[in-house]
Amino acid sequence: MNKVITCMLLAALTVLPAGCSVIFKTPQVSLKQTEIKKVDRDGVDIECRLAISNQNPFDLSMLSYRYDLKLAARPFASGSSVEKLIIPSGKETVMTLPARIKFDDFIEVVKAQPDLGRIPYQLNATLKMDTPVGTVDVPVEKEDTFAVPEKYRPDYYIKKLRNLFSLSRD
C-alpha cells in the first residue's frame, strides 16, 4: 500500500510542474527605448522603457522590480521599487525604469566614447510578478546603445560660442 501511495505522489509531483507551465506563460519583456531625459549640474537622468507583453488569459501584477545599469561596460546605476503595476491580459504594458547617474561619472563615459551617437549600455533587471501559481521573478537582460542628444554634447556649446563670436564680428 505504501508503495502505491509513494508512486502516486511521485507521479503527481512530476505532472504538477508541467500543468503549471500550461496555466502560466512568462510575460515577454522587450526594451522599447533608452534615452537621456535631463542633464543638470548634479547628474544625468536616463529612462529605460520596457514593454511587458502578457499572453495569459488573466491579468498579472508586478509587485516590484530591481535593476542594474552599466554604461560602456561600467556599473553606473541601480535601483528598485515596490510599485504595483497591473499588466492586463493579452496586452502590452509599458513601464519606465528611471536611473540617475552622477554628472562626473557620466562625463567620464563621454570622454571615453568616440561616438556619442552610440553609447553601449547593459540593463539587468528582475520583475517580481504575482501569478496564480505564486510569485515569479522575470529576468530582463538587454544590451543596446543610445545617443547623447546634441544639446548635451560638449561640442554643442563650442559651436554655439563660435557662432556667437562670428556674428559679433560682422
Q: Say whether pLDDT at 4 is over 80.
A: no
Q: What is the mean pLDDT of residues 22-35?
A: 89
Give the confidence band of 15 by pLDDT, cuts at 50, 70, 90: very low
Instruction: Tell me how many domains the chain contains.
Output: 1
Report if residue 110 sits inside a domain: yes
Domain for residue 120, yes or no? yes
At 44-67, the pLDDT tens digits run 999 999 999 999 999 999 999 999
Range of the domain at 34: 26-150
Q: How far apart are CA 50 and CA 35, in angstroms?
A: 12
**Interval 20-27 mean pLDDT:** 75
pTM > 0.85: no
Q: What is the CATH number of the domain that holds 106?
A: 2.60.40.10
| The predicted structure's pLDDT at residue 1 | 56
pLDDT in tens, 93-110: 999 999 998 888 888 887
Higher pLDDT, 5 or 88: 88
